[in-house]
């Protein structure tokens, strides 16, 4: 597997002196978001994680099961992700060796006979599947209302991959997702030769889109089909067929008040000729990465206009924004819009 990390060049354009909020939206929407990938967390390993504006700790017990907790020990505030150790499927604080289990409960203090009953830290709903470690985020702390999908191609020996790319972008999850329904920009920003003819279904929580398009290849353009399933703002599966079947698993996790961490994992269905599989896969990865690179400076420097001044040919942007409201509690949307209007 190959991994490239891309640092965007326009981040320096941001200044903390900006007064007007760029987005009248809660920063951290509801949904499942990737906080790590299974291959990067071995048994007995501990990782510090920053997501949703919070410091977290991820660890995998000796039995192979992972857990995600708030990062700081309830005793005296040490960060469990920096120097913490896995022992007996628990995480041990590096400061005084208090031991927390996967539920966040302190189960042992080596120098005390009794554990204070309130000695615990918050734990996060987590799912590990399809090579990803996903955390559930809800502004009000409510439990999961839907489940992330299992992705069969990620464990199918008939598919190669993943080929991995990652970016850190100064934007908002909803802004990135809106790209899928903004059909006009594909021609004028990305240089595609036609507008995708898309059929879009808005569900709860799924947004499904199917589009026929012309795909550039070394031998010319080939008619292809793009089928996309977006599960909220954190996870999307994009399947491409035409010359060869390919899959892009895209995750978008809000890190802090400014940045979203984006991961692309590409899979290609194997052909009899390995050289053709590699060649087509490499070209596909390059093209999708090129298009994202064109989007980044727009995302990092634009503002959110609401309502937008739409015209014929723009795509169902209004329907998308109505669909997007389900990922924020209503009272947060109203307070954010009031603050934006008064800024």
| 289 domain residue, yes or no | yes
pLDDT of residue 219: 57
| 117 domain residue, yes or no | yes
User: 97 in the Ramachandran plot: left (φ > 0), alpha (ψ -120 to 50) or beta?
Assistant: left
Beta bridge partners of 132: 37, 129
Render each residue's pLDDT in the chain as its tens digit; 343 residues. Answer: 445 544 443 333 333 444 567 888 999 999 999 999 999 999 999 999 999 999 999 999 999 999 999 999 999 999 999 999 999 999 999 999 999 999 999 999 999 999 999 999 999 999 999 999 999 999 999 999 999 999 999 999 999 989 999 999 999 999 999 999 998 898 899 988 766 678 999 999 999 999 887 665 555 667 789 999 999 999 999 999 887 899 999 999 999 999 999 999 999 999 888 887 788 788 889 989 999 999 999 999 999 998 999 999 899 999 999 999 999 988 877 776 666 666 5
Shared domain for 125 and 160, answered yes or no, is no
pLDDT of residue 223: 77
Give the HSE-up count for residue 60: Cα atoms under 13 Å, Cβ half-sphere: 17
The 10 Å Cβ neighbour count of residue 87 is 14
Cα–Cα distance, 189 to 125 (Å, whole number): 39
Which residue range(s) make up the domain with 126? 29-137
Shared domain for 112 and 161, answered yes or no, is no
Shared domain for 163 and 228, answered yes or no, is yes
Shared domain for 191 and 247, answered yes or no, is yes
| 7 domain residue, yes or no | no
Name the domain count of the chain: 2
Domain boundary pick from 137, 172, 199: 137
Shared domain for 93 and 179, answered yes or no, is no
| 12 domain residue, yes or no | no
Q: What is the CATH number of the domain that holds 222?
A: 3.90.380.10
Q: What is the CATH number of the domain that holds 64?
A: 2.102.10.10
| 335 domain residue, yes or no | no
Shared domain for 169 and 279, answered yes or no, is yes
| 16 domain residue, yes or no | no
pLDDT of residue 218: 55
Shared domain for 173 and 303, answered yes or no, is yes
pLDDT of residue 10: 36
The torsion angles phi and psi of 130, rounded to 5 degrees, stand at: 55, 35
* CB neighbour list of residue 61: distance below 8 Å, 6 or more residues apart: 43, 44, 67, 86, 89, 90, 102
């Amino acid at each position: 597997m190959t991994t490239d990390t891309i640092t965007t060049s326009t981040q320096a354009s941001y200044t903390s002196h900006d007064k007007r909020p760029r987005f009248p939206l809660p920063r951290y929407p509801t949904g499942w978001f990737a906080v790590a990938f299974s291959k990067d967390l071995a048994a007995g390993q501990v990782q510090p994680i920053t997501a949703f504006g919070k410091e977290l700790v991820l660890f995998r017990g000796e039995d192979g099961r992972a857990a995600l907790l708030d990062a700081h020990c309830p005793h005296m505030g040490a960060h469990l992700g920096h120097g913490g150790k896995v022992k007996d499927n628990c995480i041990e604080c590096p400061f005084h060796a208090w031991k927390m289990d996967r539920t966040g409960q302190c189960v042992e203090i080596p120098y005390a006979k009794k554990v204070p009953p309130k000695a615990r830290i918050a734990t996060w709903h987590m799912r590990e599947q399809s090579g990803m470690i996903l955390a559930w985020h809800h502004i009000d702390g409510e439990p999961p209302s839907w489940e992330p999908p299992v992705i069969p191609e990620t464990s199918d020996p008939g598919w190669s991959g993943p080929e991995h790319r990652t970016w850190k972008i100064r934007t908002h999850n909803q802004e990135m997702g809106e790209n899928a329904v903004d059909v006009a920009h594909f021609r004028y920003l990305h240089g595609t030769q036609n507008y995708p003819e898309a059929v879009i279904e808005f569900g709860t929580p799924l947004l499904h889109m199917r589009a026929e398009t012309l795909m550039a290849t070394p031998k010319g353009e080939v008619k292809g089909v793009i089928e996309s399933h977006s599960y909220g703002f954190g996870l999307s599966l994009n399947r491409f067929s035409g010359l060869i079947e390919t899959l892009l698993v895209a995750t978008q996790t809000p890190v802090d008040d400014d940045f979203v961490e984006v991961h692309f994992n590409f899979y290609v269905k194997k052909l009899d000729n390995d050289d053709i599989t590699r060649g087509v896969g490499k070209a596909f990865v390059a093209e999708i990465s090129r298009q994202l690179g064109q989007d980044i400076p727009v995302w990092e420097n634009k503002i959110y206009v609401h309502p937008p001044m739409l015209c014929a040919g723009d795509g169902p942007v209004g329907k998308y924004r109505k669909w997007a409201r389900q990922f924020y509690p209503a009272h947060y949307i109203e307070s954010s819009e009031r603050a934006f209007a008064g800024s």
